[in-house]
Structure 1
Amino acid sequence: MATIEVQGTLFDALASETASAPSPRAGQPALTSLTAVRRTHLSAGAWVDVRPNWFVGADDVYAALLAEVPWRAERRTMWDSVVDVPRLVHTYAAGDKLPHAALAAAREALSAHYLAELGEEFMTAGCCNYRDGNDSVAWHGDTIGRGRTEDTMVAIVSFGNPRKLALRPRGGGRSIGFTMGHGDLLVMGGSCQRTWEHAVPKVANAGQRVSVQFRPAGVF
């Protein structure tokens, strides 16, 4: 299957925005403007927004995620075997306290920015801990809940070492890729969960990376 790299990395965004971003005090991350998101229209009403360097001073958030999230390993039935899920996970339900105040601020900022388009707020925060290049996510769409029949959004913030998020049309077609770096934001919207699939492929060498996925209620 051919692969198109729509954007090689999210690190390269908007020198003007980066230059004007607030300079946080030590241990005080800040969010840059969401008006600078770049939208890539896919097919069948799906789209992806990216905002490189959304978090300024993301190290403190990353450290809190590694230290404070009650990470757990899962096992899953696949074919005739029970196998380890290749990553650590935890989900914060609506109303749960998040491990860093900046994550709560990020969820509020996303809710405010996308409210007119989404029609509701982001509520939950799913966390994935990719310990190295062997940890991954297979091709899937978030269609267990309302995403199976409704347009929705999933907003992903990445912390730590860069990893590629790949997308491809459901049913086959050329894939595209976005490499998410430390503090980068990617939002999948429209029909993306129904008509496209996404994955984090294994790689030969990679450092640790944590992603936080903000979703509306009832989207899994």
Structure 2
Amino acid sequence: MNLDLFAPEPSQGEWIEINGGRLYWAPAFFDPAESDRYFAALRQSLYWKQEAITLYGRQVMQPRLQSWCGDAQYRYSGLTMQPEPWTPELLTIKAACETASQSQFNSVLANLYRHGQDSMGWHQDNEPELGPQPVIASVTFGESRRFLLRHQRTAEKLEFQLGHGSLLVMAGKTQSNWAHSVPKTQQRSGERINLTYRWIFSK
């Protein structure tokens, strides 16, 4: 199902109840001028690097660049990420996402997709330090890319086109019941910055 057909008015969003989960979808959360400024600032100010992760018992390089910022370290797929400091842009975007999602965040994972072959495989954000029902706020600046959700039990799929200035929040039991991915594309694709805000619980 392609939920772009149910897009709300620009700069506004709506909560969508899905099978075993809850989403907040705002395809034009930031206006084009704001989005242009944020993309340029984040592209230059964040410390981008390519990390190796453990996948099926072997180490592979991630097909994208990343930057981890905020107040806590983060572990996933055998990788421990130490946080870089918040930037003014990241804090301003965070505040807007907190208002929309009615949640608080203390960290953000920034991903830089350089071209259509950079991708994100199927996974769930279900690490213990995220808590039992994590709220993940995903903001996109730059090139539009497909974002897929797949139900773990029924294999039902949902698709969003995450465009310049969009916000998608995954809440409730979404991370328990659904996996998500950003697939590769053979179409010509420019750079995309995706920010996923989250709360890390200290042990």
Work out whether the TM-score is over 0.5.
yes
Which of residues 83, 87, 92 in structure 2 aligns to 1:105?
A: 92
CA distance in structure 1 between the aligned counterparts of 2:26 and 2:56, rounded to whole angstroms: 38
2:115 to 129, 132, 145: 132
1:181 aligns with 2:163: yes
- Distance 1:76-1:151 versus aligned 2 partners, 3 A rule: closer
SS at structure 2 position matched to 1:110:
helix
Determine the C-alpha separation between the residues in 1 that align with 2:15 and 2:97. Answer: 15
| 1:91 aligned partner | 68
Match of 1:48 among 16, 23, 28: 23
Deviation at 1:13, TM superposition (A): 4.4
Aligned to 1:199: 181
Q: How far does residue 6 in structure 1 lie from its aligned partner after superposition?
A: 2.1
SS at match of 1:193: helix
- 1:212 maps to which residue? 195
Q: Structure 1 residues 82 and 152 mapped into 2: Cα distance closer, same or farther (>3 Å)? A: closer
CA deviations on 1:60-107 (whole Å, 9 max, x unpaired) are 1101111111111112233464321101011102286433x3431221
Percent of aligned positions with the same letter in both sequences?
26
Q: CA deviation at 1:193?
A: 0.8
SS of structure 2 residue aligned to 1:7: helix
1:55 aligned counterpart, secondary structure: coil
Question: Could you list the runs of 5+ residues in structure 2 that have no partner in the other structure?
Answer: 73-83
Q: CA RMSD in A?
A: 2.3
Cα distance between partner residues in 2 of 1:173 and 1:7: 20
TM-score by length of 2: 0.83
TM-score normalised according to structure 1 size: 0.77
1:82 corresponds, among 59, 64, 75, to 59
Q: Return closer, same or farther for 1:214/1:79 CA change in 2, 3 Å cut-off.
A: closer
Cα distance between partner residues in 2 of 1:53 and 1:187: 13
Aligned length, in residue pairs: 188
Q: Which residue type is aligned with residue 86 of structure 1?
A: P
C-alpha separation in 1, matches of 2:186 and 2:125: 26
- Structure 2 CA distance for partners of 1:80 and 1:126, relative to 1, 3 Å: closer
Aligned positions of 1:141-180 closer than 5 A:
141-147=124-130, 150-180=132-162
The match for 1:7 among 4, 8, 11 is: 4
In structure 2, distance between residues paired with 1:112 and 1:5: 26
